[in-house]
C-alpha cells in the first residue's frame, strides 16, 4: 500500500514538509523526491534510436533513500552511428557486407587504413564497382539487438559486494544474464539494488547495439540470451 500522500498530508497539517535530502527519504516515509523510480511500474524512461550507444550510470542507492532504482529503456532503433553496407548479413552474391569503424583503436597496425573518397563515382585501379555505403538498418530479416550491462564497481570491495544490477524483460521478469538480445522496437528494464541497509554508490555501464543481427543467425550460445 502506498501511504506517501497520507504521510505528506499529515506533515503539512502541522506546517511541515518532507525533506528533499536523499539521505532522509526513508525516515520521511516518502520517495516523492527520488530521482528515479523504486518500482518497475513507474520506472524512469531512456529512449534509444541509433546504435551502437553506451550509457553510464553513477549514483547511490539504499538506506536511507530508495533501496531499488529501475529504469525503462525504450528501443526504436532506426539507424546506426557507424557506416554499414547493407548491414552485416548475406547479400545476393553470398558475401558478407562490410562494417566500417573509423575510430577503432585495435586496428591491425600492419595494414594501412582504407581510404574513403566519397567524391569519386568509379574506381579506376581495378574492375570492381565502388561500395554503396549507408547507415540504414532495414535489410536484416527478423533483427535483434544486443544489450549488455557491466558493473564497473567503485573499487571498494566492502561496498561493491552489497550492490547488484539486473536486467528485466518487458514482462518485468528478471533476466538471468548480463546480456540479452531483443527486438529493436521493444523495451526492457534495468534494476539497481542495494542488498544491505546502508547507502551504496555504484558505477554501471550499458552498451546497446554492439551486435545487430538476424535472429536466425544467432549461435546456440547467443540464443540463451534471447528475450
In tens, the pLDDT along 177-188 reads 999 999 999 999
For the 35-79+140-223 domain, the top CATH level (class) is mainly beta
Asked if residue 78 lies in contact with residue 204, where contact means CB atoms within 8 angstroms, the answer is: no
* Residue recorded with cell 532503433: 77
Alpha carbon distance 69, 115 (integer Å): 47
Alpha carbon distance 11, 14 (integer Å): 6
Asked if residue 174 lies in contact with residue 168, where contact means CB atoms within 8 angstroms, the answer is: yes
Counting Cα atoms < 13 Å in the Cβ hemisphere of 162 gives: 16
- What SS3 class is residue 59? strand
pTM of this structure = 0.67
Give the mean model confidence (pLDDT) for residues 194-223. 91
Q: What is the pLDDT of residues 211-225, one digit of tens each?
A: 899 999 999 999 999
Higher pLDDT, 91 or 129: 129
**What is the structure's pLDDT at 73?**
96
Give the mean model confidence (pLDDT) for residues 8-27. 59
Alpha carbon distance 46, 60 (integer Å): 19
**What is the structure's pLDDT at 172?**
94
List all residues 6 or more positions away from 156 whose beta carbon is below 8 Å from its beta carbon: none
Cite the residue boundaries of each domain of the chain with CATH code 2.60.120.
35-79+140-223
Amino acid at each position: 500500500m502506498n501511504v506517501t500522500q497520507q504521510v505528506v498530508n499529515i506533515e503539512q497539517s502541522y506546517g511541515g514538509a518532507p525533506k528533499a535530502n536523499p539521505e532522509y527519504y526513508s525516515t520521511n516515509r516518502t520517495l516523492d523526491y527520488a530521482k528515479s523510480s523504486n518500482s518497475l511500474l513507474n520506472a524512469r524512461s531512456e529512449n534509444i534510436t541509433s546504435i551502437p550507444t553506451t550509457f553510464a550510470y553513477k549514483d547511490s542507492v539504499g538506506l536511507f533513500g530508495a533501496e531499488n532504482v529501475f529504469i525503462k529503456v525504450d528501443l526504436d532503433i532506426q539507424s546506426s552511428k557507424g557506416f554499414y553496407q547493407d548491414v552485416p548479413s548475406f547479400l545476393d552474391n553470398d558475401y558478407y557486407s562490410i562494417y566500417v569503424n573509423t575510430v577503432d583503436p585495435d586496428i591491425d597496425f600492419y595494414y594501412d587504413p582504407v581510404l574513403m573518397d566519397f567524391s569519386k563515382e568509379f574506381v579506376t585501379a581495378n574492375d570492381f564497382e565502388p561500395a554503396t555505403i549507408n547507415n540504414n538498418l532495414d535489410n536484416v530479416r527478423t533483427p535483434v539487438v544486443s544489450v549488455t550491462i557491466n558493473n564497473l564497481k567503485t573499487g571498494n570491495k566492502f561496498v561493491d559486494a552489497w550492490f547488484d544490477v539486473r536486467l528485466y524483460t518487458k514482462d518485468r521478469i528478471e533476466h538471468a544474464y548480463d546480456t540479452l538480445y531483443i527486438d529493436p522496437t521493444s523495451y526492457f528494464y534495468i534494476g539497481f539494488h542495494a542488498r544491505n541497509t546502508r547507502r551504496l554508490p555504484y558505477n554501471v555501464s550499458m552498451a546497446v547495439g554492439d551486435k545487430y543481427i538476424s535472429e536466425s543467425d544467432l549461435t546456440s550460445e547467443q540464443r540463451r540470451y534471447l528475450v
